[in-house]
Amino acid sequence: MASNRMTFDQLVEHQKRVKPRKRPDDEEHRIQCACVNWFRLQYPDLASALFAVPNGGRRDRVSGAKLKAEGVLPGVSDLILLFARDWHCHGLLIEMKTGNGKQSPAQKEWQHDMERRGYRYIICHSFDEFREQIDDYLLL
């Protein structure tokens, strides 16, 4: 009776042909953490005014349904700074992206809606861009 079992050499050859699963890249996470840490050190009096919105990430169906029932919305920016600049700018909404990352349709729709309501919306692709945008916004 012939065995259908793979030999060790066949397994090694098979693994060479199969593309390894790409691990999730945490670059956006690392940049956002650095941005928040810098902000809280640079502007300690506003530390509690900048917060993250936990909209992203992988979740199971039950957790996703609970969060949706609690009010989580698709497209909401990664960070929100509750600091009004003047009568027509109620706060700053910050979307973090890596490299040449693009907004999803839901993010674009939410941006448009919030800008109509008097919020400034920015997209930051790096720590330096975040720092520059924050300084510009707060030091107007």
Return the number of other C-beta atoms located less than 10 Å from residue 135's C-beta: 12
Q: Is residue 69 situated within a structural domain?
A: yes
Cβ neighbors of 74 (< 8 A, separation 6 or more) are: 55, 104, 106, 110
**Residue 124 is assigned to a structural domain of this protein:** yes
Give the 3-state secondary structure of residue 77: coil
Residue 122 lies in a domain: yes
Residue 76 lies in a domain: yes
Helix (H) or strand (E) holding 110: helix 105-116
Strands (E), the chain: 50-52, 79-81, 92-96, 120-124
Q: Which residues contact 133 (CB under 8 A, 6 or more apart)?
A: 94, 122, 124
Based on the structure, what is the number of domains in the chain? 1
Residue 15 lies in a domain: no
pLDDT reported for residue 139: 87
Residue 95 placed within a domain: yes
The pLDDT of residue 64: 80
Return per-residue pLDDT of the chain as tens, 140 residues. 555 676 767 766 766 776 655 555 688 889 999 999 999 999 999 999 999 988 766 678 888 888 888 888 889 999 999 999 887 899 999 999 998 889 999 999 999 999 999 999 999 999 999 999 999 999 86
Query: Which structural domain range is residue 132 located in?
Result: 47-140
> Is residue 118 domain-resident?
yes
Question: Does residue 4 lie within any of the structural domains?
Answer: no
What is the torsional sign of CA 93, 99, 105, 106?
Answer: negative
In this structure, what token pair is assigned to residue 21? 């699963």
CATH of the domain at 126: 3.40.1350.10
